[in-house]
Each structure stands twice: as C-alpha cells, then as structure tokens.
C-alpha cells in the first residue's frame, strides 16, 4: 500500500494536473494513410453564392524557420480603374487563406495586416507525415477603403521552428476575391425595424478611414503583453469631420496564458511547491482605454488551438475559432465630444491579471461627413462602475476547488451634429462571468467549467427622440474541460484522458436584421504522451453548427473519429430557428 502511494505521489509531482490542459504535437507513430483537408465549421459567406468578378493572389510564401525573424511583406495594389469588371466599388470582398504542411510541427499563430491594419488572426493546423491542407474565407468588405489604395504593404507574421525534430514548413497563399454583383436572398429576410437610409450611417457601410492601433511591424504589428502592467498605446488625431468611430480589437493568448481559463491561483501553486508558471487564477479581461479611461472590455472567447488539450480532437475539424479568431467591436462615437479637439489622443489596450504572453492590436474605423469640414459633438459620459469580482479558494494539498464570479456594466452617451442632423449615440455593454476549477484524486483529475454571457448594444436617437438605428449582440460561450492523468506503459510516458465541450451562441441585430448562430462542439478521448509528443490515442469530436439570418439558413452536423469523418450532413433549409 505504501509503495503504491509513493508511486502515485511521485507521478503526481512529475505530471501535475495543474499543468494541464497543455499543448502537444502528434508523433509520426500515429499513422495517417493519406493527405487530408482540415476545416473549421462556419456559415458560408454571402459572396460564396456568387462567382468572383476577379481574384488577385496577394501573398505567396513558405514559412520555415522564421522564429525571431521579421514578418514577410509584399506590395499591394488593387484592381486598376481601367478594369471596369473588377475595380471599386465592390459589393463584397473576401480574403481566401490557403495553407499546406507536411511533417511534424506545433500549431502556430499568424496575423495578416494591410498597411498595419489587421485583416485576419488565424492559427495553423498541426501536420501529419502524409501532409494536410486547409482553406478559409473571411469577408473583408468593411476594409474597402484600404483595399482601394495602392500605397500599402501586405504583411504576414508566422513564427515557425524547423529543425531535426520539427520538420513542418507552412506553405501559404493569400488571395483577395472581389465581387461586383449583389447577392440574391435565399429565404425572405426578417423585416427591418427602421430603414437605414433615415440615418445615413448604415452599420454595414465600410468606414472612410481605418487607422491601426498597433506596433511598428518589426515583429508583426501586434503588441506583445507580458503582464498586466503592460498597456501599449498609440497617439491618434481624428479628422475634425469625423461623425462615427468604432474600435475593432484583435486578441490571442499564448505561453503560460494559452489556457488562462484553467489557471489555478498562485497560492495553490506556491503551497504545493509546483513548478508550473500558469498562475494568476482563471479570470482575464481585455480592456480598451482612451487617454487612460476605460471605454470597453471583453472576456475573450477561449479559442483552443490545434495542439491544445488533445490534438487528436482537431483532426480534421478544428476547434471553434481556431482558423478565424473572433474580433471585438466597441462603439466610440459617444466620445467624439472629447476626441474632436484637434489634439492627439492615446488609445490603449491591456489585459487584467495577464501573464506571458498576449498578442493584441486594434483598428480604428472612422466615418467622415463629406459635406462638412467639421462636425460638432458633445460627450455626456456616464460613470463606469468598478468590476464586481468575487473569488473563493478551498484546497488541501493537491485537491480543492476555486470559484470566480465577475460582472461589469458600462454605458456611454454622446451627440454628434453633422450635415445629416443631430443624433445621440448610446453604447452599453454588460457581461457576467463564472468559473469553477476542481482538483481531485491527489491532483491528477481536473475539471474546468467557465461560462460567459455578454450583451452589447448601440442605439442612435434623432432630435425628435425617435430611435433611428439599433444594433445588439448577445453572446454565450461556455467551456468545460476535463483532464485525468494516469501512469503510462513505460516510465517516461503517461496517459491523459481528455474531454472538451464548448460552444458559441450568438444573437445579433444589425441594420434592422436579426441573425442567430449556434455552434456546439463536444470531444472525448485519451492519448499516451511522451514529453509533449502524442504516441497513440483515440478521439471522437461531434459538432453542430446552425445559422439563421438575412441571407437564409445553414445547418451542418459532423462526427470525426480518430481523424476520419464518419458523418458530414449539411442543409440550407430553414426548418427551425438555429
């Protein structure tokens, strides 16, 4: 009995559940018999219903041993005005990202910028000896004002390591697809609440200017945040005829914070003399400031990269958001009374409780009044209450539980008088966060449960008090992760039993039209591991994706077992709400 207890204690010290979930690579001993296509479930773009008027390959590059090197850049030029079938204006523009890789390699984060403005945050799939390939499309119509310029550089950052062990080289092509046609609606639209033309600033109308809030580009244009004391910023002076401004935030998390939602508190780590660097608890909030004042914040969606938790789960369907990481928008129009003073203002980004490291940057979308040199604005800012945050920790040795509850509510109001009239914009945001982490069986079993409920709304009211525009987004994104560690068949291996369940539910009202997304993914399996290499294992991932919106409906159901699709059904019929 004492011998068994010693073995368990020794094994626990060597492989503590506090270090899980983790990231791994799939060893060549896990056989795959052919090259395979990987994909992320998402709804088709409206432009996918049409052939592109033209396409332009804007970047081709092989990312080999690029660690600590500069990003790859290429000059960009739009279709010339002489090409009447393809020159601006466009009804839609899509970015198509294609990649192939063969060998053994970790997942890698990547970003694509045009003139320092981020267009896509993505991560790579982990390859096999037989090779893999994948493709994704993202609508980039809202960046049209940049896409018409010929004085910009397209930049991509993907830091990769190629040596005797990690042999995978990522071969990448990026294309822009331009569309002149309009999209026919598959199903009748939901009637709009109020026509957009009454206001003259339809929420889907591309901005006149887009200004990056980013680093200098030597190592990519993202800022690298190593701790919560880091708060990078940029000084920006807005044009005096700005009538609307929206900040778009890109964020990803890595290193000791890649699985921030599973991190135990520092007291648990120090009390048990654990060597893991994953501390500071399981709450993170990414916030945006103007001149040091909070203007918005987000608890980011917990994207799992393809080497995360159990890489066998993500073959061939990757986790939600892994190929197209979400961005977050903040309406800053209520602040124009402060920003239109001919002075430069500091736009900053930070992460509460952050540890190394986070990659963040933002884009400032600016709409102008083309009939006036200046507009008048006034901000009637409401006080932002402090976050309500409660933490509870109970543990004895390696077993215990840690709970966190948080909520925040913010609201800002301001009016803008332009050539189209005097309109008051109200931006409100609230979210509720709950987290529970439990350790059992001498710390070898770990259960992580987190749920985020976020609600964001923009309302615009005319001088007569009539609401002329409203956008609202309600998101729910729970995640549950279970890991249990057991001794392996050999002294230098261990077995990790893993379950992951996560989802993204979103209900959006934009431009008077309602859309719903329900994306649910459930993965179960185990793997035998040496160091961070998966030697063998099994995995079953089931996913359902439903969309209902102004361009129709889409439903897709998949089931992947040990890297092979055993079910893949899709439908475009609106049988029931998503």
How many other C-beta atoms lie within 10 A of the C-beta of residue 304? 27
pLDDT(432) > 80? yes
Strand 388-396 and strand 345-352: the pairing is unpaired
pLDDT(551) > 90? no
Model confidence band, residue 251 (pLDDT cutoffs 50, 70, 90): very high
The number of domains in the chain is: 1
Indicate whether 57 belongs to any domain: no
What's the pLDDT at 346? 98
Query: What is the SS3 assignment for 463?
Result: coil
Model confidence band, residue 26 (pLDDT cutoffs 50, 70, 90): confident
What's the pLDDT at 435? 98
Q: How far, rounded to the nearest angstrom, does the alpha carbon of residue 76 sit from its chain's CA centroid?
A: 25
pLDDT digits (tens, 9 = 90+) for 122-161: 999 999 999 999 999 999 999 999 999 999 999 999 999 9
Beta bridge partners of 7: none
What's the pLDDT at 326? 97
Model confidence band, residue 14 (pLDDT cutoffs 50, 70, 90): very low
Indicate whether 376 belongs to any domain: yes
How far is 215 from 234, CA to CA, in rounded Å? 8
Domain of residue 302 covers: 215-537
Residues 262, 500, 532, CA angle at the centre, nearest 5°? 70
Residue 221: partners with Cβ closer than 8 Å, 6 or more residues away: 111, 113, 116, 118, 155, 157, 212, 214, 215, 361
DSSP string computed for 512-548? TEEEEEEEEEEEEEEEEEETTEEEEEEEEEEEEEEEE
What's the pLDDT at 229? 96
Least confident of 12-16, 63-67, 425-429, 452-456: 12-16
Mean pLDDT value across residues 336-348: 97
How far is 517 from 257, CA to CA, in rounded Å? 28
What's the pLDDT at 102? 96
pLDDT(1) > 70? no
Indicate whether 275 belongs to any domain: yes
> What's the 3-state SS for 85-126?
CCCCCCCEEEEEEEEEECCCCCCCEEEEEECCEEEEEEECCC
pLDDT digits (tens, 9 = 90+) for 281-323: 999 999 999 999 999 999 999 999 999 999 999 999 999 999 9
pLDDT digits (tens, 9 = 90+) for 159-203: 999 999 999 999 999 999 999 987 654 443 433 333 333 333 444
Model confidence band, residue 550 (pLDDT cutoffs 50, 70, 90): confident
How many other C-beta atoms lie within 10 A of the C-beta of residue 328? 21
Tell me which of 571 and 13 has the higher pLDDT.
571
Q: How far, rounded to the nearest angstrom, does the alpha carbon of residue 295 sit from its chain's CA centroid?
A: 20
How many other C-beta atoms lie within 10 A of the C-beta of residue 91? 15
Nearest 5°: phi and psi at 222?
Answer: -80, 145
What's the pLDDT at 184? 54
pLDDT(386) > 90? no
Mean pLDDT value across residues 221-249: 97
What's the pLDDT at 67? 95
Beta bridge partners of 392: 403
Model confidence band, residue 404 (pLDDT cutoffs 50, 70, 90): very high
* Cα-Cα-Cα-Cα dihedral sign, residues 530, 531, 536, 540: positive
Averaged confidence pLDDT in the chain: 91
What's the pLDDT at 15? 60
Indicate whether 556 belongs to any domain: no
How far is 25 from 537, CA to CA, in rounded Å? 13
Indicate whether 481 belongs to any domain: yes
What's the pLDDT at 371? 96
Nearest 5°: phi and psi at 271?
Answer: -65, -40
CA atoms within 13 A on the CB side of 418: 26
Query: What is the SS3 assignment for 50?
Result: coil
- The token pair that represents 339 in the structure block: 């920003």
What's the pLDDT at 146? 97
Report whether 254 contacts 109 (CB < 8 A): yes
Q: For residue 192, what is the DSSP state?
A: P
Report whether 308 contacts 107 (CB < 8 A): yes
Radius of gyration of the chain (CA): 24
What's the pLDDT at 27? 72
How far is 344 from 276, CA to CA, in rounded Å? 43
CA distances from 472 to 198, 458, 460, 510, 574 (A): 19, 6, 12, 7, 23
Indicate whether 124 belongs to any domain: no
pLDDT(12) > 50? no
Strand 209-213 and strand 117-123: the pairing is unpaired
Report whether 558 contacts 538 (CB < 8 A): no
What's the pLDDT at 193? 36
Helix or strand run (H / E) with residue 267 = helix 266-271
What's the pLDDT at 195? 38
What's the pLDDT at 204? 61
Whether this prediction's pTM lies above 0.85 is answered by yes
How far is 331 from 379, CA to CA, in rounded Å? 13
DSSP string computed for 343-375? S-EEEEEEEET--S-EEEEEEEEEEE-TT-S--
Helices vs strands, H then E, count in the chain:
4, 31
Indicate whether 318 belongs to any domain: yes
How far is 63 from 156, CA to CA, in rounded Å? 10
pLDDT(25) > 50? yes
What's the pLDDT at 33? 66
CA distances from 479 to 110, 237, 274 (A): 24, 40, 25
Nearest 5°: phi and psi at 144?
Answer: -55, -35
Residue 292: partners with Cβ closer than 8 Å, 6 or more residues away: 346, 348
- The token pair that represents 384 in the structure block: 């932002």
What's the pLDDT at 385? 74
Indicate whether 407 belongs to any domain: yes
Residue 78: partners with Cβ closer than 8 Å, 6 or more residues away: 87, 88, 147, 148, 149, 150
Residue 347: partners with Cβ closer than 8 Å, 6 or more residues away: 213, 233, 234, 235, 236, 247, 288, 289, 290, 362, 364
User: 360's torsion region: left (phi>0), alpha (psi -120 to 50) or beta?
Assistant: beta
């Amino acid at each position: 009995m004492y011998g068994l207890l010693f073995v368990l204690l020794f094994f626990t010290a060597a492989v503590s559940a506090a270090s899980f979930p983790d990231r791994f690579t799939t060893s060549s001993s896990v056989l795959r018999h052919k090259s395979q296509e990987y994909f992320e479930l998402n709804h088709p773009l409206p432009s996918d219903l049409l052939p592109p008027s033209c396409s332009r390959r804007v970047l081709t590059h092989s990312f080999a041993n690029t660690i600590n090197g500069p990003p790859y850049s290429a000059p960009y030029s739009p279709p010339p005005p002489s090409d009447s079938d393809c020159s601006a204006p466009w009804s839609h523009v899509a970015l198509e990202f294609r990649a192939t890789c063969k060998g053994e390699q970790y997942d890698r984060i990547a970003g694509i910028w045009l003139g320092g403005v981020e267009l896509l945050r993505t991560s790579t799939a982990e390859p096999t000896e037989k090779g893999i390939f994948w493709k994704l499309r993202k609508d980039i119509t809202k960046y049209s004002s940049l896409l018409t310029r010929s004085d910009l550089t397209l930049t991509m950052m993907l830091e990769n390591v190629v040596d005797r062990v990690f042999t995978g080289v990522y071969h990448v092509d990026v294309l822009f697809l331009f569309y002149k046609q309009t999209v026919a609606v598959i199903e009748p639209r939901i009637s709009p609440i109020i026509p957009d033309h009454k206001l003259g600033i339809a929420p889907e109308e591309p901005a006149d200017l887009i200004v990056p809030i980013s680093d200098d580009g030597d190592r990519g244009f993202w800022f690298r945040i190593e701790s919560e004391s880091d708060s990078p910023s940029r000084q920006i002076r807005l044009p005096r005829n700005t009538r609307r401004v929206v900040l778009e935030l890109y964020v990803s998390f890595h290193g000791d914070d890649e699985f921030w939602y599973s991190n135990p508190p520092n007291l648990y780590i120090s009390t048990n003399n654990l060597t893991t660097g994953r501390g500071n608890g399981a709450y993170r909030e990414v916030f945006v400031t103007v001149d040091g004042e909070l203007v918005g914040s987000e608890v980011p969606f917990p994207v799992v990269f393809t080497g995360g938790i159990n890489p066998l789960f993500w073959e061939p369907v990757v986790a939600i958001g892994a190929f197209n990481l979400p961005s977050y928008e903040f309406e800053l129009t209520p602040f124009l009374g402060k920003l239109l003073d001919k002075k430069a203002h500091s736009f900053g980004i930070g992460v509460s409780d952050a540890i190394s490291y986070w990659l963040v940057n933002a884009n400032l979308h600016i709409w102008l009044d083309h009939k006036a040199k200046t507009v008048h604005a006034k901000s009637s800012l409401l006080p932002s209450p402090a976050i309500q945050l409660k933490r509870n920790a109970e543990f004895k040795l390696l077993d215990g539980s840690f709970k966190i509850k948080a909520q925040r509510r913010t609201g800002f109001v301001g009016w803008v008088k332009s050539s189209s009239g005097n309109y008051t914009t109200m931006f409100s945001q609230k979210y509720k966060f709950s987290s529970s982490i439990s350790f059992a069986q001498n710390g070898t079993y770990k259960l992580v449960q987190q749920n985020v409920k976020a609600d964001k709304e923009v309302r615009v009211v005319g001088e007569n008090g009539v609401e002329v525009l409203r956008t609202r987004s309600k998101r729910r994104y729970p995640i549950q992760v279970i890991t249990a560690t057991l001794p392996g068949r050999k002294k230098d291996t261990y077995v990790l039993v893993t379950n992951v369940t996560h989802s993204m539910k979103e209900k959006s009202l934009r431009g008077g039209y309602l859309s719903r997304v329900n994306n649910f993914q459930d993965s179960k399996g185990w793997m035998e591991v040496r160091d961070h290499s998966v030697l063998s294992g099994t995995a079953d991932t089931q996913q359902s994706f439903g969309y209902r919106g102004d361009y129709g409906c889409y439903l897709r159901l998949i089931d992947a077992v040990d890297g092979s699709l055993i079910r893949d059904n899709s439908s475009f019929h609106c049988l029931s709400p998503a």
